[in-house]
Structure 1
Amino acid sequence: MQHRHLGRSGLRVSRIALGTMTWGHDTDTDEAAAQLDAFHEAGGTLVDTADLHHEGRSEHILGDLLHHHFHRDDLVLATRAAPRGPAGTPTSRGTLLTALDTALRRLRTDHIDLWQIPAWDPAVPLDETLGAIDTAVTSGRIRYAGVANHTGWQLATAAQHQRNAPGRTPIIADQVEYSLLERGPDHDTAPAAEHHGTGLLAWAPLGRGVLTGKYRHTTPPDSRAAGDLAAYVDHHRTDRAARITQALATAADGLNAAPAHVALAWIRDRPAVTAPIVGARTASQLTTTLAAEDLTLPPAIRAALDDISAPHPHTDPAPTPL
């Protein structure tokens, strides 16, 4: 697997990241271990988790695997801080640093490679939120810092705030929903990321599973849409999504590739994107998904997908942050 610098930083990561949202829910410890093995053997390094994934079970599983089965330095470990805190202050200094210490214990490590602030909070001074990042870096608990689900102006404000004073920690990543079905970042987040040297990490790069094509005609009984994540998937089960999914299937047929591979290749090579974050319930599903690494889209196919998925800012629904 090829590797890239995350934004304009010295941190190099695999250009496909492994997400762990299913771990501790649909994926047990044995399957998680098999996924991490398959990802590592494919050359993957960037593993993303969050403490809100199933009340921390995802971090616990990853921590156990790091401790017993993998060399810590073989992986680039990313996590997000708690989106909720005491008295409704999710990005206060106390909430953030407490969340970081909890994540370190769950992950059984002394440092996080990429720590991400989960959301913009207008109720907390920006200097307090970003000051927690600087404290975490100075104490050695994190190496690099990013944000998640920040719009273009929010990302630009945070990045410029850190740049204004010498010695502050730069913002090198923004994790946002971005796919053929969610083109919102094209409006402002991607241009802001390019300008400030921030890499985008794309969550739900397969349109919450819709771009695989498995929901084109029915809802498989073992799928997310048939369970407690139905609303999460249904967000993208629209007439517009059906048109894009059909065009994607046509392109995939022409390339003798799977629709998921075409969708991942499209988002992977968008401007400002460092890596899409892919998840799976099983190791076999993940191995199949990782085959997208070998696909590069011809310019004509990319242009056609760009056109059919072009965003309509007044009608497209807003993404729901994880």
Structure 2
Amino acid sequence: MEYRHLGQSGLMISEVTFGNWLTHGELVDRDQAVACIRAALDAGITTFDTADVYAQGAAEEVLGATLDGVRRSSLVLASKVCLPTGDGPNDRGLSRKHILESCEASLRRLRTDYLDLYQAHRFDETTPLEETLIAFDDLVRQGKVLYLGVSEWTAPQIASALTIARELGLHSRIVSNQPQYNMLWRVVEPEIVPLCLREGIGQLAFQPLAQGVLTGKYRPGQEPPDGSRGTAGGRAPTFIRRVLGTSLLERVQDLLPVAEECGLSAAQLAIAWVLRQPGVSSVVAGATRPEQVTENASASGKTIDEAVLKRVDEVLGDLVDRDPAKTAQMMAVKPSWMKTAPADG
């Protein structure tokens, strides 16, 4: 495992971050979740990403219990706040009340005194941004949070937060952004990545495997393999259906020889591709089996050259989405939307 700075901060994180969205506490049993976390530690992964809303807190509980006893200073724990965690009117959003209360709850579930990284899971248009940033800054001053980040914010939203933080003279600033980013979904490239590069904000890219589609295990004209997310319970099949299609699956099969020539599996190629992109600090990858964790982690340190990048673009062609307008469509938080959690990480 190799390590990188989170943006231009001094914090070092593993190139592959272990993410437990949709899996721990929801799609796999506890023993399997524990095995995956231990496999991550064995592979040299130090960075673990979760959120208060994942399995309504159960994911944080599983992670906290499994990591209990591991030297805390050797870990980087990241969680998030914003999405609905209850039915009450204040059980969501980025108000001071919800941020402070959610942070305390995450600390209890994770069995720790502080979070290395605390992220705004979405932008909240119902709360003044000044209130949100001051609440986050207070947590940093109290020592309960070390670094701040955002997830699925648009470029204008990130820029506004940076400007307000400077104007208010806050001690802390955003050092990370967590977007969906993979070979197929590149909508962050036109606006968000350039802004973050200028401001020293690192990308924690999630869904590098496009819900497993880029592993090549979903084949054209065939049912999803047993045990895959395409056949699992919960919400996962809904997301899988968004990206499954004969044309796409055929193109992914065409990527397999490219990966083989690089001495990589399809999953490793997909992760190495993301790590090759400008401004990416780490790839957030989930898993339902320990062997998947090991395979994902082994993509760290693998290099792919410009010729490989070009071949990937040639194979995927018009299936690649770079439309920056879709960042606003997918990331915006409206009052009506706040009633339920969205269907992504």
Which of the five TM-score ranges fits, normalised by the shorter chain? over 0.9
**1:183 aligns to 2:221 (yes or no):** no
CA–CA distance in structure 2, aligned partners of residues 221 and 59 of structure 1: 27
Q: TM-score, normalised by structure 2?
A: 0.87
Query: Is the contact between residue 182 and residue 209 of structure 2 (CA under 8 Å) also seen in structure 1?
Result: yes
Among 253, 256, 264, the alignment partner of 2:271 is: 264
Measure, in 1, the Cα distance between the counterparts of 2:192 and 2:251. 22
User: Is residue 2:48 matched to residue 1:56?
Assistant: no
Give me the whole-angstrom Cα distance separating, in 1, the residues matched to 2:15 and 2:74: 15
Alignment of 1:124-135 (within 5 A): 124-135=127-138
Distance 1:188 1:125 in 2: 24
Q: Please tell me the root mean square deviation across aligned C-alpha atoms, in Å.
A: 2.1
Q: Which structure is higher in RCO with an 8 Å CA cutoff and minimum separation 6?
A: 2
Which residue does the alignment assign to 1:116? Answer: 119
> Between Structure 1 and Structure 2, how many residues are aligned?
321
For residues 228-279 of structure 1, the C-alpha deviation after alignment (integer angstroms, 9 at most, x for no partner) is 3111111112456335413422311322321111110000121111111011
Structure 1 residues 274 and 306: alpha-carbon distance in aligned structure 2, compared to 1, 3 A threshold: farther
- 1:82 and 1:90 in contact (8 A); partners too: yes
Is 2:257 aligned against 1:250? yes
- Compared CA separation, residues 315 and 9, structure 1 to 2 (3 A): closer
Which of 155, 161, 164 is the aligned partner of 2:164? 161
Contact 1:248 1:263 in 2 (8 A): no
Which aligned pairs between 1:1-322 and structure 2 lie closer than 5 A?
1-21=1-21, 22-67=23-68, 69-84=69-84, 86-87=88-89, 90-217=93-220, 218=222, 219-227=224-232, 228=234, 229-238=236-245, 241-242=248-249, 244-307=251-314, 308=316, 310-313=320-323, 321-322=344-345
Question: What SS does the aligned partner of 1:24 have?
Answer: coil
Q: What CA distance in whole angstroms lies between the structure 2 residues aligned with 1:315 and 1:186?
A: 11
Q: Distance in 2 between matches of 1:312 and 1:4?
A: 26
Q: Distance in 2 between matches of 1:315 and 1:163?
A: 27
Which range is displaced more, 243-252 or 58-67? 243-252
Distance across 1 between alignment mates of 2:170 and 2:53 = 30
CA deviations over 1:146-177 (Å, ceiling 9, x no partner): 01111122122212322333343110011110
Structure 2 CA distance for aligned equivalents of residues 238 and 8 of structure 1: 39
Q: CA deviation at 1:316?
A: 7.8
> In the superposition, relative to structure 1, how do residues 243 and 164 fare at CA in structure 2: closer, same or farther (>3 Å)?
farther
Give the C-alpha shift of residue 315 in structure 1: 10
Q: 1:48 to 1:230 in 2, by over 3 A?
A: same
TM-aligned CA deviation for residue 72 of structure 1: 1.5
Alpha carbons of structure 1 residues 316 and 210: separation in structure 2 relative to 1, 3 Å: farther
1:264/1:105 CA distance change after superposition, 3 Å: same
CA distance in 2, matches of 1:314, 1:167: 30
Which residue identity lines up with residue 30 of structure 2 in the other structure? T
Using the TM superposition, name which of 103-112 and 25-34 deviates more. 25-34
Unmatched 5+ residue regions in structure 1?
none
Cα separation, 2, equivalents of 1:178 and 1:10? 24
Cα deviations by residue, 1:197-226 (Å, 9 ceiling, x for unpaired) = 111111111011110111123211321111
Q: Which amino acid aligns with 1:134?
A: D
Which amino acid in 1 is paired with 2:210? G
Deviation at 1:294, TM superposition (A): 4.3
C-alpha distance after superposition, 1:116-163 (max 9, x if no partner): 011111121100111110111111110111011111221222123223
**Paired residues of 1:156 and 1:193 also in contact (CA < 8 A):** no
Partner of 1:91, secondary structure, is coil
Matched to 1:3, the amino acid is Y
1:121 is matched by which residue type in structure 2?
D
Q: How many angstroms apart in 2 are the aligned matches of 1:239 and 1:127?
A: 47
Verify the 8 A CA contact 2:188 2:324 in the aligned structure 1: no
